Chain A
Amino acid sequence: MGLIKNIKSYSEGIQISADKKEILTSFLLNGFPTTKDEEWKYTSLKKVITNDYSIENKGEIIDSSIIEKYSLGFKNKIIFSDGKLINTPTIKGVSITGFSEFESATTDSILQLNKALSQNGFTISVDKNTVVENPIEILFFLTTENSFCQYRNQISIGENSEVKFVERIQNLNNSSSFINHFTQTNCAKNTKVEFNKIQNNTAESQLIDTVNVYQDQDSTCNINTLIFGGSFTRNNLNFEQNGSNCESNMNGVSVLNDNQLADNHTFVDHKSAHCRSNEMYKGVYLGHSKGVFNGKIMVRPNAQKIDAFQSNNNLLLSDNSSIDSKPQLEIYADDVKCSHGCTIGQLDDDALFYMRSRGIGIEEAKAVLTYAFASEAIENISVEQVKTLAKNLLAQKLNVDLDFSL
């Protein structure tokens, strides 16, 4: 039948408002993006959407041992089971509730679908002048087989506040799943926010994760993306800098094997003067995996004194892996410093030889070099537990025991 038909029959059975209906009609008319769409040129959704999915999900109770297994051990946990919010922590100065309606851009059909039909997600608002000491951990569990689940989250951070998030989506069975995840974040003046996305789901999991960040002056927003698992992962990170002295940082590490596909799309819209953005994406590709990177930096007229830096480095370590990279600069102001660099290559033979001649096995030598390659981006993560997890997952994926203390 395919997902579109699942969505059609699901939507016929529920009541939605007139404007949502309009958006849904528009989605059904356009359908999912195809490779003819410039933003989806290298990433085909065809296989993802031909499967059948169940849209109404049960939301089973999750055993605490399972939560423990996938948690990084933070005190403050928000837990979802199949879209249902089953646990919210109490944090001073932070209000955490379930799904609520909010206005958002519907720039592509994925966001249209999310806006029209999503009923799940969280709403977080952080008061002014609040520093949340411990990171807030958000766990999304899937228990239903072959489920299609949509999340729609909104975060508002009050002036001068600071908060960190650690997000993880976990399928608890081995069936195929598809998640359309959307988070809208509003950063008020002088706020600091960090997102850590751990994307290490089961082999048949598919994810489209869109984050729209709207930044006011003096705010800093960091998003770290770690892609290790899942068969299909597409990340859309969109930053809009609406005040001066904003900073947007992105770090990404993808280590893929088998038939995995990871697509990182980033867009930084520099609308105000005196702002900065930094992007560092590292990809390691094994097996038949495929990587896609599309980084766009836009500097609007009059947004002078912008420093924008973007780098995308890739290691192709197997015969059948491939990478498509498209770094873009669109600059309409003259007093800026913008650069992007992209490299695609292999491990240095000389370095490998050097290590082997000193008694380090080929696999370990490769792992050490690969680790060194990826660590530049991992080191930018400020949450220790996430950093350690990233290192462990990297070693696991490379099939070695990295002995030195990481």
Chain B
Amino acid sequence: MAEQKPKIILQTEGLPDQRSLKTYVEKASGYTAVRKVLGGMSREQVIEEVKQAGLRGRGGAGFLTGLKWSFVPKDITGPKYLICNNDESEPGTFKDRYICTVNPHQVVEGMIIAAYAIGANKGYIYTRWEFQEEISYLEAAIKEAYDAGFLGKNLFGSGFDFDLDHYTGAGAYICGEETGLISSLEGKKGQPKVKPPFPAVSGYLGRPTIVNNTETLANVPWIINNGAKAFRQFGTEKSPGTKLFSISGALNKPGVYEVPLGYPFASLLNIEAGGMQPGRTLKALIPGGASAPLLTPAECEGLTMDFEAMAQRNTMLGSGAVMVIDDRQSLAELLKVTIEFFAHESCGQCTPCREGTGWLNNIMDGIMDRSAKPENVERLRTVARNMGGKTICALSDACAMPVMSYVQKFSGELQAYLAAGSGGHSK
């Protein structure tokens, strides 16, 4: 089953010593792409290949990776930085964690190539603290790469130097936002910075910096080895390649699966994830992490897993975090969990977010203990509407969007919960 699907990222999955340098080199053409790049490709050629491949950022925003790299000023002297965003903080997402478990060397190799393309000699992998085990895998991979001469000075005799270090976060969702991450790496509170200037021009310590998601970077060696055209055989016109989906909920086989973009949701659910647990049916779907508007079962009909199909349904693919909500769940409770999360994680810089998430949380408390008035359900939407597009980063929108979708699509259940508690209780 697994061998019928292309593997770009999880090439070493299930092999003996899957995350070792030896396995990556022997079984997945490991470190051949970086030799090809440093052996004769120009920076522009590398960027062009990645642009042609149409690789889109896998962290959530889906921005074109090659284009992002091209924003780094070329003629500037002094240090530039490459950062791997391995913070993976969007609730429901656990695919970068899995990459670290299965194939961390492909991330390291992708970083060397990306660093060369943007002219950075120093890189960091920033991982959330909660991933203790995975941090040890990354540190081991970095050490193996140094010992093999794949990191450090004059790589493969090319004259290109690249040093890579690991940095551990400390429990803050907002550090997954690229400028919040940069603040954190600078030893500060993880508060996002006003853009522009974008990090490509002024990032870590005010220097040109590119922040790319772990999965994004892991795509790069494969693209260099096989070419943009081969990459485009998979996926859709606007979303080429494969994607790792983290699928969870009351399922028979929750987990991380690599499938081509545009893959049918029904197959992901029923084949990869083994279907819902016996006796449970689909009540709603969160297709792309806690900040994605949720979909009704009717909207899941014919749904494909790509950026375009999600946009058509006014939701988003995000980081590929698919959370399947079954019929035993109370949507009022899940909305409370969602709002409470964002209220906790708001960094507090911008008023619409700091106050808005707090107000939503207060209203929701009233719904949970059934002290709220019926019009307060609609009031959630009024507050949420005033939180979008008004802040430094997207956290405020990330809270507002799902709230509006719950109220729009399931206000009946929220009202029923408020009135009598007939909205169902999770068990």
Partners in one complex: no
Interface residues of B, Cβ cutoff 8 Å to A: none
Interface residues of A, Cβ cutoff 8 Å to B: none
